[in-house]
Amino acid sequence: MRTVLGAPEYRDGNGFIAEVIRTSRRKTADIRVEEGAVSVIVPVSTSIEKIDQLLLSKRMWIKEKMALQRDMATASSKQFVSGEAFPYLGRNYRLKVECGPFSPAKLLQGRLVVQTPEGSQQPHMIRNALVRWYKRQASLKIREKVKRYAPIVGVEPAGVNIKTFKSRWGSCTAKGELEFNWLIMLAPNRMVDYVVIHELCHLIHHDHSPEFWREVMRVMPDYQQCREWLRENSEGLVV
């Protein structure tokens, strides 16, 4: 797992906002575009000037990647304007859009507050800010739940990672690492519990055998209701 130092930094890439992640685990820079959100992972001592030069040199590639991901993204009816509701762990929170320099989304007084510059790219930047916020919450909340339920299941995962999956909520790798789809944060809290318990149980049984389901039921007797809810509502869990 990478070591990330300090608070997040953001750079304006002229049409996109890049999150700067400084890490002691890298000797070279790396640019990633996930869900249309741009991240640049750099060694700790990398200067802002060098980061800006890198983003400028890769601007065309970044824009092409963002456009491709927008075309492939699951259709959403959201317009990313103030007043729209976004679900988080079973509750809806109204979006509040403020104009100004880009800053991370925050949950303040029952509202999801996003600050971005005005312009044609604003809806896209607002979505990026919300995706980043959901991913941060997923990283915090899911790790808390893994820590809570792992002793009950009687296992210890090798690691916990947050991913983007198209058709599943989680996975258990051959190395014993658990991976979770950040979109589960749009579901009620109990559904997140179910997904965490489900993947933890895969550390004991790597299939969906009767023994596996008995283990899930031992920890979560109402798991079938959660499983059914996700089957019926998964298509609506999009940002």
* Residue 186 DSSP code: G
User: What confidence tier does 175 reach under pLDDT thresholds 50, 70, 90?
Assistant: very high
What are the structure tokens assigned to 46, written together?
Answer: 């990398």
- CATH architecture of the domain with residue range 138-236: 2-Layer Sandwich (3.30)
What pLDDT, on the 0 to 100 scale, is given for residue 101? 85
Query: With contact defined as beta carbons under 8 Å apart, do 32 and 39 qualify?
Result: yes
What pLDDT, on the 0 to 100 scale, is given for residue 78? 87
Does residue 10 or residue 231 have the better pLDDT?
A: 231
CA gap 91, 42 in Å, rounded = 36
The residue among 96, 132, 103, 134 whose CA lies nearest residue 117 is 103
Domain ranges (residues) in the chain: 9-72, 85-133, 138-236
What tens digit of pLDDT does each residue of 129-174 get?
Answer: 999 999 999 999 999 999 999 999 999 999 999 998 888 999 999 9
What pLDDT, on the 0 to 100 scale, is given for residue 8? 66
Total-model pTM? 0.83
What tens digit of pLDDT does each residue of 29-71 get?
Answer: 999 998 778 999 999 999 999 999 999 999 999 999 988 877 7
